[in-house]
Structure 1
């Protein structure tokens, strides 16, 4: 077999093994080892390449940003800042048509700016927003669809773990990626809000018939002090982290450290974080970080195996020879990402596709920051599509209502997946949406 044939066979092997249930990191490491062994005809050399990849892949100072932002997100989720933000937004928008749905999007956008984890947003707002929306007369399909759709903002609005992962894989500035994520994130939030207003006004079969004329905050205090008390810590943390990065005071890694420390202080001040909870969060941070480390190590092994096979160079030459151009290549690439999203999670898609597609993007002289955001948006559409739909499964597992089947949640996400596709097309046609702030 030629090197290119071995590279193609490795792709098929990876998809088969992952779809069979084998962990992504183990799959990538195993296939990479076998591929290098076959290419070099020496198991010792394959082991040496894997050893070098293990040592070099996570030694970068930049990688310290991962556990720090993970810890900050976990502390914020445990401290109930998502619930506080939702209550304030719901109170402010209670007289607007579809106000509770718009409040869910607004709260999710704010929550995304201090967590960066879509799954955390889905879990938190399923508990907080879905019961309240159903109580107010919204249909379960619409309520869960709003939460699932707005949860993806966690991977667009900075800080975003998926953008960090792309930055590591593509060797791009994480700070620049964070800035580039603001435009698409804000645009998607606005599209969601406008669409929710229109759907609640004209599509009652889908949204239900909400009765939000009641005071949504009737069960809690209404005073200005309560609003400030709930919103000030969230805004302070956002200003601390993002203001520090964009103001040039911190690197992303330093901002992660400051943000994690600030989140602990705020949670402790609000008496929502004891020593036992802090220990549990620290352990969970270690588990998540170890898992991400293993993924990055395996992805580095896989990239080196592909480079040895010559498959990326072959694909680059083939794509250039087809005269697809930038937009033709992006159309094919986005379609591939969306299809992969039906069977794989977001991180797995990035780990498999970036080593192959990045050389092609570079040969076409595509701006890799713009390309990264397009990739992340396309990958995030997969969080809403069956049969994988990771956000949908998180919402189902977080619901306390067995009367809402998984199919009903998937049906609720369809309009929001289409809106994401619309925003993705706009970002491709008008690159300034992404690169304007950068």
Structure 2
């Protein structure tokens, strides 16, 4: 077999192994070892190449950003700051048609700026927002769909673990990726709010008809104090982390450390976080970090194997020879990402596809920051698509409500997946949304 044939066979082998239940990192490492063995006809040399790749893969100072942002997100989630955010957003949107759904989107947008994890948002707001929306008359499928759609903001609005992962694989500035994610993230949040208003106004059979909400009346001063006590700590944390990065005061890794410390101080000041909770989230941070680092090591091994097989070079020359141009390539690439999203999780999709497509994107002279935003958004659409739809499964598990089926959540999330696709088309058509250059 030629190197190209071995490379193509490796792609099929990885998908088959993952689909049959093997862990993604193990599948990548195993296929990389077997592929190099076939290429070099020497298992010892294959082992040495992969050993070198694994040592180089996570030795960078930049990798410190992973556990720090994970810790910050877990502390914020455990301290019930998501509920505080939802209460403030609900007060702001309560007079608008579909206001509670918009409040969920707004709260998720703010929550995303301090967690960076879609799954965390999905778990928190499933328990906070869905019961409230159902209580006032929204349909169960619509309520679950709003949470599923808006939870995606956690991977677009910085800090985002997927943007960090892309930056590491593509060797791009994480700070620049964070800045590039702001415009698309806010645009997506606004589009979700507009979509909710349209659905509530014109498709009440799908959304349900909300009843007027009777709320406990607060004096003007009490309402201001309550809003300030809930919103001010969140804004301080967001300003500390993102302001430090964009102002050039902190590197992303230093900002992660400052943010994690700030989250612990805020949670402790609210008396929602003690030594036992800190120990628990520290252990969980270690587990998550180890899992992510194992994925990165395996992805580096696979990238090294692909480079030696010659498949990326062959693919680059083939696509350029077809003369499909940037938009033809992006159309095919996005279609593949969304298709893979029906069976794989976000990290797995990026780890498998990026080593192949990055040389093509570079050869086509594409802005790799813009390309990264397109990649993350297209991959995130997969979180809402059956049969896997990871966010959908998280929401179903967090709700623990037999009256809301998995199919209900998928149907409710479908309009939001369509809105994401429209925003993706806008970002492709108008790159300045991410790059900021007119």
| Offset, 1:250 | 0.2
Contact map agreement 1:87 1:217 (CA 8 A) in 2: no
Deviation digits for residues 62-100 of structure 1, max 9, x if unmatched? 110000000000000000111000011111211110000
TM-score of the superposed pair, with normalisation by structure 1: 0.98
Structure 1 residues 84, 437: closer, same or farther in 2, change over 3 A?
A: farther
In the alignment, what sits opposite 1:85? 85
Kindly indicate whether the alpha-carbon contact (under 8 Å) linking 1:69 and 1:256 is maintained by their aligned counterparts in 2.
yes
Please name the residue that 1:132 is paired with: 132
Q: CA deviation at 1:217?
A: 7.8
Aligned: 1:367 with 2:367: yes
Contact 1:142 1:207 in 2 (8 A): yes
The equivalences for 1:32-51 within 5 A come to 32-51=32-51
CA distance in 2, matches of 1:216, 1:138: 21
SS at match of 1:223: helix
How much does 1:400 deviate?
3.0
User: How far did 1:402 drift?
Assistant: 1.2
Q: How far apart are 1:349 and its partner, in Å?
A: 0.3
TM-score (norm 2): 0.98
- Give me the whole-angstrom Cα distance separating, in 2, the residues matched to 1:324 and 1:316: 12
Q: How does 1:311-330 map to 2 (within 5 A)?
A: 311-330=311-330
Report if the CA contact (8 A) 1:179-1:437 is conserved: no
Partners of 1:78 and 1:217 in 2: CA distance: 28
1:30 positional shift:
0.4
CA RMSD of aligned residues (A): 1.2
Instruction: Note the C-alpha offset of 1:197.
Output: 0.8
Seen in structure 2, the aligned counterparts of structure 1 residues 217 and 178 have a Cα distance that, compared at 3 Å, is: farther
8 Å contact from structure 1 (residues 90, 216) kept in 2: no
Q: Which residue of 1 aligns with 2:298?
A: 298
State the Cα distance separating 1:213 from its structure 2 match: 4.2
Unaligned runs of 5+ residues in structure 2 are: none
| Distance in structure 1 (CA, Å) of the matches to 2:311 and 2:273 | 50
Equivalent-residue separation in structure 2 for 1:394 and 1:313 (angstroms): 39
Q: 1:198 to 1:216 in 2, by over 3 A?
A: farther
- Partner Cα distance (2:242, 2:163) in 1: 15
Give the match for residue 422 of structure 1: 422
Is the Cα contact below 8 Å between 1:158 and 1:178 reproduced in 2?
yes
Q: Partners of 1:156 and 1:212 in 2: how far apart?
A: 33
CA deviation after TM superposition for structure 1 residue 216, in Å: 7.6
Q: Which runs of 4+ in 1 moved over 6 A?
A: none
Distance 2:217 2:432 in 1: 40
User: Quick one: structure 1 residues 355 and 293, their matched pair in 2 at CA, closer, same or farther if it must change by over 3 Å?
Assistant: same
Which residue in 2 is equivalent to 1:200? 200
Q: Cα deviation per residue 1:222-275 (whole Å; 9 max; x = unaligned)? A: 521111111111000000000000011000000000000000000011011111
1:42-191 matches, within 5 Å, as 42-191=42-191
- Distance in 2 (CA, whole Å) between partners of 1:437 and 1:183 is 12
2:136/2:213 contact within 8 Å kept? no
Give the equivalent residue in structure 1 for 2:393. Answer: 393
Q: For the residues of structure 1 that align with 2:227 and 2:30, how far apart are their CA atoms?
A: 53
CA separation in 2, counterparts of 1:53 and 1:290? 17
CA 1:38 to 1:99, structure 2 compared with 1: closer, same or farther past 3 Å? Answer: same
Question: How far apart are the structure 1 equivalents of 2:86 and 2:275?
Answer: 27
* Secondary structure, aligned partner of 1:374: helix
Post-superposition offset of 1:53: 1.1
Distance across 1 between alignment mates of 2:72 and 2:144: 26
Q: Number of residue pairs matched?
A: 436
